[in-house]
Amino acid sequence: MKTDDLRIVKTRPLLAPAILSEEIPLTETASTRVYEARRAIEAILDEAMVCHVGFVVDGQPYVIPTIHARDGARLYIHGSPMSRMLRTAATGEPLLASDLRRLIEKYSLPFGMFEEIIAGVEMDLTIPRYRTFEELRVYCYRVASAVGLVSIEIFGYRNPRCKEYAIELGLALQLTNIIRDVGKDLQNGRIYLPQEDLARFNYSETELQDRQYNERFLHLMEFEALRARQLFARATAALPSEDRRAMAPAEIMASIYRGLLRQMELDKFRVLEKEYRLSNLEKAGRIATQLLKSFFYLPPRTSV
């Protein structure tokens, strides 16, 4: 390749555009955290001499090393104008957009759900606390239920009630995630447990920040776990019998997360000091059991 064939090509931001964009609307509460996150990503980009650009052509993924430079929220990458990498980037859209567009067209995916998912991710950048469960429910819907609503279109379903199933299951899965990750989220400055729930059990945010494990914290976690179980039960009740086989992947996920919830319950929710996960053996057992249930129409279980 000749030197004069190389040039700098201007592209859209390739990394964390929601953070890098100077036009992102910031609330007063979140402005400092988003500013710090943006500066951290910029520092990484500015320090590195080489980047690796991932892209997909005809369904085949590629990762190409190259040099780069940053100008504000804009990232420049170096390469031949005839390379597949830069021809893909030159469309003026994110590198995976064409593949996502084909997926949307193939399955008639609801585009509004992708907007909901993006809005949910942005909430992580701008909202470190939730006053009520209703506020948290909006977040859970966007980052989990919306994903479920997209997924069931790919799985295929016959009964429109499957949408209710996807919504309730998404809420249950995300709430289980929140219970599991209380300690980890604290490290990132986030508290997803609704403030009204902390007040209900007279457990203060200061106690939570200090990782104080006491009877009030245990009751708070039991309350959230009961709420998650109720959501799992609603999802099970909403799943149409004619769509149980198509929803086997979702039911496998539900079974694993119910097992995770049960594991935390039996251990009295030591989420401030340890991480919970199911063993590969237990996951395999739940996968096999759920496949049998889905394909032979065995009665679902909601208790564990």
pLDDT above 90 covers a percentage of the chain that reads 55
Final residue of a domain: which of 57, 92, 127? Answer: 92
Q: What is the pLDDT of residue 298?
A: 57
Q: Give residue 198's domain range.
A: 108-296
Q: Is 21:113 a contact under the CB 8 Å cutoff?
A: no
pLDDT above 70 covers a percentage of the chain that reads 76
Q: Do 181 and 72 share a structural domain?
A: no
Q: What is the pLDDT of residue 194?
A: 98
Q: Do 32 and 148 share a structural domain?
A: no
Q: Tally the domains of the chain.
A: 2
Any domain includes 226: yes
Q: What is the pLDDT of residue 64?
A: 77
Any domain includes 97: no
Q: Do 205 and 276 share a structural domain?
A: yes
**Distance of alpha carbon 15 from alpha carbon 18, whole angstroms:** 9
When the pLDDT of each residue in the chain is averaged and rounded to a whole number, the result is 82
CATH code, domain carrying 232: 1.10.600.10
Any domain includes 18: yes
Any domain includes 49: yes
Q: Do 252 and 120 share a structural domain?
A: yes
Q: Do 290 and 196 share a structural domain?
A: yes
Residue 188 region by backbone torsions, left for phi larger than 0, else alpha for psi between -120 and 50, else beta: alpha
pTM, two decimal places: 0.71
Q: What is the pLDDT of residue 81?
A: 60
What 3-state class would DSSP assign to 64?
strand
Q: Do 196 and 258 share a structural domain?
A: yes
Q: Do 193 and 66 share a structural domain?
A: no
Q: Is 147:170 a contact under the CB 8 Å cutoff?
A: yes
Q: Do 135 and 277 share a structural domain?
A: yes
Q: What is the pLDDT of residue 301?
A: 54
Any domain includes 101: no
Q: Do 221 and 273 share a structural domain?
A: yes
Any domain includes 301: no
Final residue of a domain: which of 41, 66, 92? Answer: 92
**Nearest CA-CA partner of 13 in 61, 53, 62:** 53
- Residue 10 tokens read as 């201007």
Any domain includes 303: no
- The stretches in the chain having pLDDT less than 70 are 1-38, 55-59, 73, 79-97, 297-304
Q: Is 191:129 a contact under the CB 8 Å cutoff?
A: yes
Q: What is the pLDDT of residue 36?
A: 62
Final residue of a domain: which of 36, 67, 92? Answer: 92
Q: Do 231 and 119 share a structural domain?
A: yes
Any domain includes 265: yes
Q: Do 154 and 79 share a structural domain?
A: no
Q: Do 273 and 146 share a structural domain?
A: yes
